[in-house]
Amino acid sequence: MSEDIKKGLLGIVVDETEVSKVMPEINSLTYRGYAAQDLCAACRFEEVAYLILNKDLPNSIQLKKFEKEEKDHRELSKNLYEIIKHMPKKSHPMDVARTAVSVMGLEDKETSNSSPEANMRKALRIFAKTPTALAAFYRIRKGKKIIKPKKDLTFAENFFYMCFGKVPQREIVKAFDVSLILYAEHSFNVSTFTARTITSSLSDIHGAITGAIASLKGPLHGGANEEVMHMMRKIKKPENALKWINNALKNKEVVMGFGHRVYKSGDSRVPTMREYFGKVAKIKKDRTFEKIYDIVEKVMIKKKNIYPNVDYPTGPTYHLMGFDTDFFTPIFVISRITGWSAHIMEQHAANKLIRPLASYKGNKHRKVMQLNQR
């Protein structure tokens, strides 16, 4: 009798969470009950980060304290700066992010303390330092001097400043902030489940986030935003888009940035991100990728009934902002650290070792022959 195997744990409910849910009744991703697009309209990313970590939106006093703590922890140790300076220039920034968080674990005095209070403090330190580490590598690999973080800038403004040496106009910063909010959390996705699995063995938060980063790197998860940009570069011009997408479908190629395990009739994050993609394209006076976007999307919906996910508009938006393509997923990381941290703390609070079973399909029992008889 064959066992009922659910490949990829498809449809299997493995635990409970209070962090986020795609609510069918409002057809929206929600963080702690708030619709993500409503948070984009009313809040800055720091407010949403506080919400995800602390279970409710902050008042002005709580937000001010949270922002001060984040700003106070942005600086890296001399040791970590030196390690980043000596990393191979061709390293993928996701590998840099993974290594940087791992080094932070070596340096943190509370690494082995997994109490709720210590985990919250460590989560905030990882959240504050990771953008600094990534921006330092962004500069180093271009042969430029590292720009240290500034305490008088918001989280989004500071990342632009550390990468480019200047803060862009308000609308660009807002679009970036919106992308961080939309990427911050998404229930039991691959990287979050990886973080929770590592945590279930009572490992530490740095280890769990390091594992989550490794998981997010894959093109079927966070790396999809990079693949979208590679696809758009192949298409090059809007007039090539129709032929390209028809050929791709004819040859049964995977079209990145479309489809989602959770959403069946469209990712609820897309309309908001698409709006800000359009705003950035208008500011930059470059509608090329926007036109390609619309043509490919139309064909995918018409011919395959498959809708875009949030990676589809985010990739070209980051490109127009001036970021290198291989930095798109690391930007995802600096946002998703909030969601991972919340899930890690939730796992610790009601932990049970995650240890699924497998259906064995290998050889039947065999007797070991001596070496001279094989």
Point out the residues that are catalytic. Answer: 260, 311
> Taking Cα atoms as reference points, which of 230, 169, 196 lies closest to residue 347?
196
> Taking Cα atoms as reference points, which of 360, 316, 129 lies closest to residue 226?
316
Q: How far apart are CA 327 and CA 325, in angstroms?
A: 5
Amino acid at site 27: N
Rounded to 5°, the CA angle 256-289-185 comes to 50
Q: How far apart are CA 141 and CA 144, in angstroms?
A: 7
Amino acid at site 15: D
Match 């550390």 to its residue by tokens.
162
> Taking Cα atoms as reference points, which of 335, 349, 356, 26 lies closest to residue 183?
335
DSSP label at residue 46: H
> Taking Cα atoms as reference points, which of 232, 217, 236, 225 lies closest to residue 314?
225
52, 57, 191, 206 from 210: Cα distances, Å: 19, 27, 10, 6
84, 86, 231, 299, 300 from 304: Cα distances, Å: 44, 47, 18, 8, 5
43, 60, 67 from 50: Cα distances, Å: 11, 12, 9
